[in-house]
Amino acid sequence: MNMRTAEFETWVGRTLQQVEDALEQWVPSDAPAGLGEAMRYAVLGGGKRLRPLLVMATCEAVGGQPEAALRAACAVELIHAYSLVHDDMPCMDDDVLRRGKPTVHVQFGEAQAMLAGDAMQALAFEVLTPDGEQVPPALQARLCSLLARSAGHAGMAGGQAIDLASVGHPLDEPSLRDMHRRKTGLLLQASVLMGAACGETSPVTWAALADYGSAIGLAFQVVDDILDVTQDSEVLGKTAGKDQDANKPTFVSVLGLDAARRHAEELRDHAHQALAASGLSNAARLSMLADKVVERDS
């Protein structure tokens, strides 16, 4: 490990701890009738936390407000985690394993899992709108706007609807890209843009960061599809080979494995170019996060 990598890994470790501590504080342990327990099970102590890392790295790159970024990081992770809870339920993907643990509905029952997901989505917007002076109200509104639009019908939920409808139906490559842009891409991009919103950016920088976020959003999914066929469940912490079994279209099924790998690398290069075009002098961590997305093995 060279010094640059070592410094990056130290930053990752420190940031993950900060996010974990904040989630530990903000996800209630005292919500009624076991709801808090289910919420905490779903979001604490697991996951790669890529979205929070993107928020925090982008905020640092633009010299933004760290308190706002930490809230944005936790909010976007809550949205991501709630979507996994609902996605794993029997009426959706019917999955029993997530992050190496039984899924929330297996552990707490379907009704509690649905409510926990619902409450986590609401909590994301609670976290973004604190009383008091820590986060300026206009920034609170901007963060809510970015998050809601990436999570809703035009974004994540819409992508999941396409995903549902696509089982057993061959999607062509443009449709597959559109699905993934919505399903995972827009929330990853929103993570970057929420970080950017915590500071001041020129329109050029904003557009470059949006471009970066879009590229790594798609790269993330391409790599997910590759890992689904090349890794086993134990490494992934979730059921491997699932998309293939369900006859779901993936980048691997549409492009083939080698072309999918090349595509992931092209997207990483695109992300690096976008950072170069951003005019930001402090984007090394964003650059390394792009590498991390493509080179991960789980």
Instruction: Tell which residue, 33, 154, 26, has the closest CA to residue 78.
Output: 26
Tokens 């066929």 belong to residue: 229
Q: How far is the CB of 245 from a second copy (least distance, A)?
A: 18
Q: Which is nearer to a second copy, 1 or 111 (CB)?
A: 111
Q: Is 89 in the site for a second copy (CB under 8 A)?
A: yes
Among 2, 111, 258, 281, binds a second copy (CB under 8 A): 111
User: What is the rounded CA–CA span in Å between residue 163 and residue 247?
Assistant: 11
Rg for the chain, CA atoms, rounded: 18
Q: Which is nearer to a second copy, 120 or 275 (CB)?
A: 120
Q: Is 106 in the site for a second copy (CB under 8 A)?
A: no
Residue 250 tokens, joined? 């993936």
Tell which positions 117-146 bind a second copy, by CB under 8 A. 117-119, 121-126, 128-129, 131, 137-138, 140-142, 144-145
User: What is the rounded CA–CA span in Å between residue 88 and residue 66?
Assistant: 33
* Sign of torsion over alpha carbons 187, 149, 91, 161: negative
Among 49, 86, 98, 248, binds a second copy (CB under 8 A): 86
CB 189 within 8 A of CB 217: yes
Q: How far is the CB of 18 from a second copy (least distance, A)?
A: 23
Residue 151 tokens, joined? 């999570």
x/- mask, a second copy, residues 27-46, rule CB under 8 A, reads -x--xxxxxx--x-------
Residue 181 tokens, joined? 């842009």
Tell which positions 61-80 bind a second copy, by CB under 8 A. none
User: What is the rounded CA–CA span in Å between residue 189 and residue 199?
Assistant: 16
User: What is the rounded CA–CA span in Å between residue 194 and residue 227?
Assistant: 28
Please name the amino acid found at residue 123. L
Q: How far is the CB of 223 from a second copy (least distance, A)?
A: 24
Residue 102, φ and ψ in degrees, nearest 5: -55, 145
Q: Which is nearer to a second copy, 161 or 284 (CB)?
A: 161
Tell which positions 162-221 bind a second copy, by CB under 8 A. 162, 164-165, 182
Q: Is 292 in the site for a second copy (CB under 8 A)?
A: no
Q: Which is nearer to a second copy, 2 or 168 (CB)?
A: 168
Q: Which residues pair with 101 in a beta bridge?
A: 98
Size of the site for a second copy (CB under 8 A): 56
Among 16, 44, 148, 229, binds a second copy (CB under 8 A): 148
Instruction: Tell which residue, 81, 79, 84, 60, has the closest CA to residue 70.
Output: 60
* Sign of torsion over alpha carbons 216, 192, 286, 87: negative
Q: Which is nearer to a second copy, 36 or 46 (CB)?
A: 36
Instruction: Give the E-state strand segments of 226-295 in sequence order.
Output: none
CB 44 within 8 A of CB 24: yes
Q: Which is nearer to a second copy, 175 or 231 (CB)?
A: 175
Q: How far is the CB of 66 from a second copy (least distance, A)?
A: 19
Q: How far is the CB of 252 from a second copy (least distance, A)?
A: 22
> Contact residues for a second copy (CB under 8 A)?
28, 31-36, 39, 82-83, 86, 89, 91-92, 109-112, 114-115, 117-119, 121-126, 128-129, 131, 137-138, 140-142, 144-145, 147-149, 151-155, 157-162, 164-165, 182
